[in-house]
Structure 1
Amino acid sequence: MTPTPVPPAVAGLTLRVAIASHPLPVTALTPGEARQYARLTGGHRRRLWLTARRALRGALAAAGLDTDTSVHGFPQPRASLSYAGDLAVAVVAAGGTSALSGLGADIELRTPAPGTARFFLTDREQDHLAALPAPRRPASLLRLWTVKEALYKADPDNARTRLRDYALDDPGARAGTARTVRAPTRDLPYLTLDLSRGCFSVAATPSHTGVPPVSEHTFAELAPKIAAFVSLPVEEITPGLRLADLALDSMASVELVVDLQEDYDIVLSRDDFATVETLGDLAALISSRLPDPADH
């Protein structure tokens, strides 16, 4: 496991972070973890899951929590997991977490294609990127991508939110605040860390009163459907998980779309999926097509 120098707090919360690049031995699994592992299929998926267990154990231990990862379901407000290549990162909030309603982490090793910026950056953020010297743009684009993913994962009310809906107060800040179009007065703190390869960001959503109720058609409802379709434990299904990471062939992709249309009684076209990269994006797309309860 790779030790990671992390600033001591985000939004006043002490964070414990662990990054792993090697899988946990199967013989070291607890009974609960072994049952979860047995449900997985495919060597790559199993290796990645074991690597994530190693990282999560490290972060839980540092936070003084039970290191049996099977007792910690995801998504949850005090911990977050992210994967990239052969790396897995786990972030856990230590101590009291009454002031926390969401925590999100994202690690990325490869810079997204420049043309994708318009899908997750606001116009102001794109202007900031374009104003940078050309050699600095790839690293900045990678940082902004991880920040947006971390903010999305940290937001418990993200069912109807796109990555572009999170606006950074200062696009050039490595530690700063963002806000959403849904709640423009609510600060969402984040920070970014450089790794020996790639980039890592973590974000938090502080608790507050008066949170508008989340639609009943949220990611929490979609997750079990996706988990059953791809034969993954539901705790492995997170808003930031990319559709590409599910390794669906063209036939399986069509079957999934048909199933979702039937389940939700909506129509989804090929063009609808042009900006869908993550399961969170998919949940937001579905939610946008559902009838407003106020209309009934």
Structure 2
Amino acid sequence: MLIHTQKETLVHALSSAAKNDKIGFVPTMGALHKGHISLVNKALAENDLVVVSIFVNPTQFNNSADLQKYPRTPEDDISLLKRLKGDLIVYLPEVSGLYEDSIFAKKYNFGGLENEMEGKHRSGHFDGVGTIVNKLFRIVKPDAAYFGEKDFQQLQIVKKLVAIENLPVKIIGCAILREDNGLAMSSRNKRLSAKQIEEATIIYRTLNEVREKFSSTSIADLNTLVAERFLQNPHLELEYFEIANEKTLKTAKRKNEDLKYRAFIAVLADEVRLIDNMPLN
């Protein structure tokens, strides 16, 4: 496993790869867990060479305190990656190496995808995501890039980004990995207490309940059901719950048998923000 901190040395290393080698890419913000590792293993199985980037991107945080508190565990991350088998490069850039003199995000029009759910609650977030993913894709030049479905809206945004920037990258979505109690694996889980982890199981239980009742219950009644479930737990604040068209991400008011729907949720456990989603039909 090779580690690069400079863009120039990474580009040189990748240019030395065999001409027909397939390059896989897994962009992360570090604090790696089994979910990340599953993405890397899938990339290793499907490509000749895999690059994993570890970079906490400042332009996708609309809350400076959240940026400061985001878990950073580079030594543990490298130790985890060293256990994997395959041709692996780790890219650990500094902010100045990617943003140079000015830390700002490019403004994007993602066809409305950016205005739903996370976009309503995290102003500018997807401009930051688009900016950093575009930068990384142009450095790594991967054949395929791997993203977890826990951030399903981000996954759809990245697919749109590739079309906008005309980038020859195949975007591959990977299933959510969960803890034994159903909680979606996330770097932010490291900030939760044992009690909060136990309480947060309500997220998965509620999504499952919605899925089970989706065919027989109206969307309005499902929205009411979810609100009531969280009113019963004063330690968790429901930021939003939405049932949306899986393709457009627009909030659904009624069901259409020809469309696919997904439930999306964001919950606050004190200062820790947890998101999850689940396909419904």
The TM-score bracket by the shorter chain reads under 0.3
TM normalised by structure 1 equals 0.25
TM normalised by structure 2 equals 0.26
